[in-house]
């Protein structure tokens, strides 16, 4: 997944980021963490509820120098 100023490197399942990964930023640091898939209720336009799966990013609070294994 490539975004402005950073890229996500990690695993995907069914088109969603899932499992361990890292964000690498263009200013020389990266953030390590993991995506966990959560099921949430969403209300449709007809006011019905449906369950959708969304990825939630859980990360370490510290940034690391690119390529470090800390």
Task: Report the alpha-carbon distance of residue 34 to residue 57 in Å, rounded.
Answer: 6
Q: Are 37 and 58 in contact (CB under 8 A)?
A: no
* pLDDT one-digit tens code per residue, 2-18: 678 899 999 998 888 99
Task: Report the alpha-carbon distance of residue 37 to residue 43 in Å, rounded.
Answer: 19
Please indicate, yes or no, whether the overall pTM of this predicted structure exceeds 0.75. Answer: no
* pLDDT one-digit tens code per residue, 12-60: 988 889 999 999 999 899 999 999 999 999 888 888 888 989 999 999 8
């Amino acid at each position: 997944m490539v975004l402005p100023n950073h890229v996500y490197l990690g695993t995907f399942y069914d088109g969603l980021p899932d499992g361990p990964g890292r964000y690498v930023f263009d200013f020389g640091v990266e953030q390590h963490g993991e995506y966990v898939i959560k099921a949430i209720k969403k209300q449709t336009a007809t006011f019905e509820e449906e369950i959708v799966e969304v990825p939630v990013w859980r990360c370490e609070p510290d940034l690391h120098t690119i390529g470090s294994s800390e």
